[in-house]
Amino acid sequence: MGLTDVVADIIQRDPTLAAKKDFGGTTPLHVATFFKDVEIATMLIENGATLYEKDAVGVDPFRYLERKDESKCANLRLLEIKVRGMA
């Protein structure tokens, strides 16, 4: 069982954890985008996480990914638009 499977299992048990913040305002999506894990980031977005939730210092997951890989950033933004029905 890999990390992606573990995250999927946790989210399946409690989908609210996809957007849960720690004491510093960091969400699982902050961590996934920091490590460029698009598969986990996609899973989190599909379960309620947002690319624009800021942590305690004002950084959102979108910014982590934007600094690292513009194409992945665009793909996740499009996914969030699709999931949320935003236009």
What confidence tens digit (pLDDT) does each residue in 27-41 have? 999 999 888 888 898
Q: Which two tokens stand for residue 75?
A: 């793909």
Q: How far apart are the first and last CA of the chain?
A: 37
CATH of the domain at 80: 1.25.40.20
pLDDT of residue 86: 55
> Which stretches of the chain drop beneath a pLDDT of 50?
87
3/70 Cα distance (integer angstroms): 24
CA Rg value for the chain: 12
pLDDT of residue 63: 78
84/81 Cα distance (integer angstroms): 5
Note the pTM of the prediction, 2 decimals.
Answer: 0.78
pLDDT of residue 61: 84
* Structural domain that includes position 12: 3-84
Our count of domains for the chain comes to 1
84/14 Cα distance (integer angstroms): 19
